[in-house]
Each structure stands twice: as C-alpha cells, then as structure tokens.
Amino acid sequence: MKKRSDDNNPSFEDLIGLGDHSARKNYYPELAQKLEELETERNRYKWLFENALHGIFQADLSGHFRAANPAMATLCGYRSESQLVHRIRAIDQQLFVEPQDYQILLERLRRDGKVYRFETRLLKSNGEALPVSMNVLLKQEEGDITIEAFVQDISERVRDQARLKNLNEELEQRVEDRTNALAAVNSKLWEEIREREVAQQQLIVAKDQAEAANHSKDKYLAAASHDLLQPMNAARLLVAALRERDMAAKDGHLVERVHVALEGAESLLTDLLDISKLDQNAVQSDPSAFYLSQLMSTLESEFKPVAESAGLRLKIRTTTCVVNSDARLLMRVLRNFASNALRYTNSGGVLVGCRKRGEHLDIQVWDSGEGIPDGCLVDIFQEFNQLAQHRNGMRTGVGLGLAIVERTARVLEHPIYVESKTNKGSVFSIRVPLAAASNRPPLPISHVQSNSHFSDEVVLVVDNDRDILLSMGTLLKQWGLRPYTVTDAANAIKLCQQYKVVPRVLLLDYHLDNDETGIDVLEQLEQHFDERIPAAMLTAERADQSLKLFRELGLQVLNKPVKPGKLRAFITHALSAP
C-alpha cells in the first residue's frame, strides 16, 4: 500500500484529484483512454497536414502566416514550410501577385464565411507567378479568427487554356484566310450558277412539256382504250360463239385465226394500260386477309380450257391457308405466271402449288418447258423482252407480262423468285405473308369443265352497246341459257314484268347512258325483286377507286373484253350457289 504523499510534495494524481482518497480515481482509466484517442487524432491530422498533396496554410486577418504544410512551401518554391513562414511577413504584399485579390478574398470570406475555387496568382521565391485555385474557410474560435486555405496548382490547366486560345486564334486566322479564298471561288461559282439557272429553267420547261405530253398520252390511252375495248368485246364474244359451233374445217380455221388476232390485240392493249398505270404509281395495294383457295379456283377455271386446247396438263393444288395481300393484284401476278408457263411449255404440263416458309407462303408455278438460259434470268423482267425459245401454238404476247409482274410485286411488297434449268423447266414464285385464319369460311370451289352446258337459266344482260348485247345474247343462248338484253334499268324491269321472269344472274355494264351505272341498275333490280341476285360488273373501267367500290359491294368484276372462259366460270358458280 502506497504511503500518502505529504502536503509539501504532492503527486500528479493528487494535483488532478486522483489520489488515494479521491473519488475521481475511479474514472482515471476512461480519462486516460480519451487522452490517448485525442493524441492519436491529433497525430493523424498532423500527418495529413504534413503529407497532403495540395498546399495548406493558416493565417490571421492581418495577413501573417501561422502555419503552412510542406506542399505549400514546395508550391511557392521554398525549401521548407518554416522558411516560407519566416520569409512571408505580409501575405497580401509578398504572396499574392495582385494584392487586390487578397482584399476581394477577405470581403467574400467576411460575407459568406467560405470561398470555393477562388483563382489567383501567387509569387514564388524566384519571382515567378504561379496560377492557383483556393478553397478558403474563415474559422472563429473563442474570439480568434483564422483563415484556412487549401491551394491547388492549376498552371497546367492555364497553360492548356493558353494553348487552346492560341489554337483558336490560329484557327480563326486560317478560317479567315480560307473564307477569303472561298469568297474568290464563290464569285466564280455565282457566274456558273447563273448560267446553270438559265439551263435549269430551260430543262424545267422541257420537263413540263414532257409531263404534259405524257399526261395527255395517258388520258388519250385511257379514253382510246375504253372506246377500243367496247367493239373488241363484242367481236370477242361473237368469235367465241363461232368457235363453239360446228362448221367446215376451212371456216373453223379462219375463225380460229380471228380469235388469235383478237387475243393478241386485247393482250397488247391490256398490258399497255397496266404498265402505264404502274409506271405512274397509280396502282395502290389494298391488302386484306382471304383464303388463297378462292384465287386457286379462279385460276383453274380460267386456264384449264387453255391448257386442254394446247394439249397440256394443268394441276392446281389448293390450300386452306389464309394470306394477307391484295387479292386483285396477287391474281394478276398468278395469271401472268400461269400464262407464261403454258405459253413456253410444249409438252407435259404446269403445276401450281404452295410451300410454307415460316410466316410466309410461297405460291409457285412449275412448268416442264425448255427453261430459261442463265444469262436471261434478269432480262426477262424488262419491257418487250421475249425469249427466243420455241413456243407451242399459243399466242406469243408482246413481252410485257413479266414486266407487269415485277412492278405489281413491288407495289405489293412481295418478293418474287425464279429458278430454271435448260430443257428441264422453270419455277416462278411469289412470297406472300400468312394471316390468321378467318372466321368466315372460304367460298365453295366450283370445278368447271370446258364443255359444261346450262339448262335454260335466265340471264339478264344490261349494256348500252347494242353490238355487245347481240354478241352476248348469241353466246349465252348457244351455251343453253335464256338471255334477256336491255340498255337500262327501266327497260330491264319492264322486260322482266312482261315475260314474268326473275333473272338468276345479272351481267351489268358499269358505264351506261344518261349517267346511269351498273350499280344503279343492280340496286333497282334488287329493290324490285326484293332479293339478292348474283351479279357481275362487265367493264373497261380499271381505276383503283372503282375496283375498290366493286369489291366493297361484293361484285365480281369481268374486265372487257370479257374472256368467255371466265364468263362461263362465273355463271356456273353463280348458278351452283345455294
């Protein structure tokens, strides 16, 4: 046990109240620990202060250094911080290049208590100016006011800014020089532009004249085609009636020659109209979902008699697939494929089928013809291009069919493909997007035989051309039908009342006299008989707007000159419908 210290020589514990008889002695361990932590913290701050990368200094408001770290001495070019503190007696005069900067700094400190990114220049020991950025705090403790500053050397950034400024000045000078050079060139260009403007005006005038001539040509072609198709339609129907009659071989040969000549003229006129509309971008696609079997049935009805007359086999493999396309334009492509295949096939046959390709369907037309040479696969889609191969007895055409196919496929946005082997045959295909199955079932497929005969069914024909009425009446009567021919709706109703008949099928011309149309006739007849009568619109009208109207009304369209095979197929289908 320690002896108690005498009063004349007290120990440290006695002085701070931790002697043997003090109650505070119980708190000594905690106090010692706190003192140790404070010492550690002080040492840490001291280490940070001495080893900081940026300069740090403390000063009073009068501008005298209180302390500085080694980094600050190094920035100012001094060997040590003590040398810096002893040399600099007045910061505003000896450290700042511009003393007024220090006064500005003090004013901002007094106002805000802190200043960030204060840029100025400090004097180094060798007299050089050092650009710096400062973060400065104003600290007040027990009446003592201290300035604490953290200093960063920004000389590299200042040099970069100087270099950038020089580069900008050089660039501006170069731009000015180039501008002067361009101004000289522009003066010459303006002279050329004025000359070109004169030439351009002349080209515009020439272009306008060409477009006007082209527009006039299209209007003339459309008007002339309508006037030509009317008598051609009458002649075509009469020749069809003659072909089906028994006559002498010599007379039959002459009729066949007339038939071939009319087909050639009709094909040329139709192709010219189609290619003209496609080149003017006047054909628009109107896609919808429909069963492809409907087109396949029509294709078979139309081309089976053609194949039989050429001694060829035509096989149509139908499908239950629903596609998304424009049925009218797609049918035009398939017709051209089938027509070309039959034309260039001398023996064997033609097959039309489909193959699924993911979300698309390839509609393919195969033939057993002589094939297409490799070097001609691209040229066959050019206008008026025909292969030199031997053809069967069918008409040769004018070389616009595949050009129409290529343009029509472009409107539909359906790719087309061709493969061919010489002496093996060819396959033409068009890729069509598949659609979801329709809730409406496909139309029934009627397989029409070329020798089908009718049983005195009543057919009403309305046309303002009496030659067409005569030809149509002759052909329909020869098929075994009972035709009634009139020129307008009023006479149609009067005739039906007179003979007490209800027509089973209506064949209506679109453009009639006195601004009456086939649609007006249809509406009046259906209102009179109070029932829906199967009807077909026989017209030379090929405008997209009119064709869209016919489709909306559910009317079958037979373009003039009407093909007897298509007419027979429509009547057969209409009569077989429930």
For the segment 534-545, what is each residue's pLDDT rounded down to a tens digit? 999 888 776 667
* pLDDT for residue 222: 56
- Separation between Cα atoms, residue 204 and residue 564, nearest integer Å: 48
Rounded CA separation 518/512 (Å): 7
**Which pLDDT belongs to residue 3?**
45
Residue written as token pair 């010219």: 272
| 193: helix, strand or coil | helix
Tokens describing residue 405: 């196919």
Phi (first) and psi of residue 113, to 5 degrees: 85, -10
> Tens of pLDDT along 177-206?
888 888 888 888 888 888 888 888 888 888
The pLDDT score that the predictor gives to residue 300 is 87
Pick from 160, 152, 103, 106: which is nearest to 132 by CA? 152
Please report the pLDDT score of residue 141 as a whole number: 78
Query: Whole-angstrom Cα distance, residue 195 to residue 207?
Result: 18
* Gyration radius of the chain's alpha carbons: 51
- Name which of 318, 311, 380, 298 is nearest 342 in CA terms: 311
Query: What pLDDT is attached to residue 486?
Result: 93
Whether 244 and 450 have beta carbons less than 8 Å apart is answered as no
Q: Provide CB contacts within 8 A for 402, sequence distance 6+.
A: 336, 340, 380, 381, 385
The residue whose two tokens read 């109650």 is: 23
Is 438 inside a domain boundary?
yes
Q: pLDDT tens digits for 421-446? A: 888 889 999 999 998 765 554 444 44
Do 149 and 291 reside in the same domain of the chain? Answer: no
Residue 77 maps to which CATH number?
Answer: 3.30.450.20
**109 in a structural domain:** yes
Range with lowest mean pLDDT among 27-31, 258-262, 464-468? 258-262
pLDDT at position 524, please?
A: 92
355: domain CATH number?
3.30.565.10
Residue 559: pLDDT band with limits 50, 70, 90? confident
What is residue 450's predicted lDDT score, i.e. its pLDDT?
42
DSSP codes joined into one string, 44-107? HHHHHHHH-SSEEEEE-TTS-EEEE-HHHHHHTT-SSHHHHHHH-S-HHHHTBSSHHHHHHHHH
pLDDT for the residue numbered 359: 92
- The average pLDDT across 494-513 equals 91
Picking from 444, 477, 496, the residue at the C-terminal end of a domain is 444
Amino acid at 106: L
pLDDT of residue 405 exceeding 90, the answer is no
Q: What is the 3-state secondary structure (H, E, C) of 248-297?
A: CHHHHHHHHHHHHHHHHHHHHHHHHHHHHHHHCCCCCCCCEEEEHHHHHH
Has residue 20 been placed in a domain?
no
- Does residue 176 form part of some domain? no
Q: Containing domain of residue 80, as a range? A: 52-153
Residue owning tokens 């087909």: 263
Q: Is residue 271 part of a domain?
A: no
> Does 334 fall in a domain?
yes
Above 50 in pLDDT, residue 289? Answer: yes
Give the per-residue pLDDT at 107.
92
Residue 565 and residue 306 in contact, taking contact as beta carbons nearer than 8 Å: yes
Tell me how many domains the chain contains. Answer: 2
Would you say the C-alpha torsion 254, 260, 262, 265 has a positive or negative sign?
negative
Whether residue 117 lies inside any domain: the answer is: yes
**Nearest of 328, 346, 331 to residue 296 by alpha carbon:** 331
Kindly state whether residue 312 falls inside one of the protein's structural domains. Answer: yes
Q: Please, which residues have CB within 8 angstroms of residue 55's CB and are 6 or more apart in sequence?
A: 68, 69, 71, 72, 73, 74, 75, 76, 132, 149, 150, 151, 152, 153
Q: Which of 122, 153, 184 is the last residue of a domain?
A: 153
State the Cα–Cα distance between residues 158 and 107, nearest whole angstrom. 25
Helix and strand counts by DSSP (H, E) for the chain: 16, 17
The pLDDT tens digits of the residues spanning 25-61 come to: 566 777 777 777 776 766 666 676 677 778 889 898 8
Question: Last residue of a domain, which of 413, 444, 475?
Answer: 444
